[in-house]
């Protein structure tokens, strides 16, 4: 795949992602927030379990005699540290991906707010909250055809801005 094909694929992805953010930003932001909270709670629970497993505990054998579960406490500690590090890395990776998505949502809104008045008004009227062309036209007291035309211009500008953005790399 040559460089031009890569650039075209990336441009298509940026356009797709920006449109996805515009259409679904409210729901996506809420879901991301709850997923991050759930991942942090699961991490805390898993780390508690891993820590508890590092300490020798007495268990009952099949004969009902209490036995120590592992006589090698050093191996248990090494295992605990390894498992803890692995679980934290997994959580960091998952939370990082979610935070990048949340940052993209914020960056799209910020880019819209930095646009010229006409483009900003049209995009905000159409997507914050999501409205039909007719609803946006009524809201802005404009013709539907004007909304459609200005939307195209505003989106092209927004796509170009987001293509340059670090959060869309």
For a pLDDT cut of 70, what percent of the chain falls above it?
A: 88
Structure tokens of 151?
A: 């939307």
What are the CA-CA distances from residue 112 to residues 18, 149, 161 (Å)? 11, 17, 10
- Please give the model's pTM, rounded to 2 decimal places: 0.82
> Between residues 51 and 74, which one has the greater pLDDT?
51
At 59 the three-state DSSP class reads strand
Nearest-5° Cα angle at 43, 39 to 48: 155
User: How far out from the chain centre does Cα 119 lie?
Assistant: 26
Q: What is the per-residue pLDDT for 155?
A: 98
Q: Residue 71 pLDDT more than 70?
A: no
Q: Is the pLDDT of residue 56 over 70?
A: no
Please provide the size of the chain in residues.
Answer: 169
120, pLDDT greater than 90:
yes
What is the structure's pLDDT at 19? Answer: 97
Cβ atoms of 77 and 54 closer than 8 Å:
yes
Cis omega (within 30 of 0) for bond into 156: no
Q: Average pLDDT for residues 98-122, to the nearest whole number?
A: 97
pLDDT in tens, 12-33: 999 999 999 999 999 999 999 9
What is the C-alpha to C-alpha distance for residues 107 and 66, in angstroms, rounded to an integer? 59
167 or 68: which carries more pLDDT confidence?
Answer: 167
The rounded radius of gyration (Å) of the Cα atoms in the chain is 26
């Amino acid at each position: 795949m040559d460089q031009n094909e890569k650039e075209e694929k990336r441009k298509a992805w940026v356009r797709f992602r920006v449109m996805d953010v515009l259409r679904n930003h409210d729901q996506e932001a809420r879901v991301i927030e709850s997923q991050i909270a759930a991942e942090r709670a699961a991490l805390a629970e898993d780390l508690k379990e891993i820590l508890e497993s590092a300490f020798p505990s007495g268990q009952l054998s099949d004969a009902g005699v209490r036995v120590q579960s592992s006589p090698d406490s050093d191996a248990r500690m090494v295992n605990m540290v390894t498992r803890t590090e692995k679980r934290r890395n997994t959580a960091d990776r998952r939370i990082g991906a979610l935070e990048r998505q949340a940052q993209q949502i914020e960056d799209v809104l910020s880019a819209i707010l930095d646009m010229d008045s006409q483009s900003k008004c049209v995009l905000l009227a159409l997507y914050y909250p999501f409205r039909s062309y007719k609803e946006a036209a009524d809201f802005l007291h404009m013709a539907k055809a004007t909304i459609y035309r200005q939307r195209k211009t505003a989106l092209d500008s927004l796509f170009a801005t987001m293509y340059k953005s670090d959060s869309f790399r």
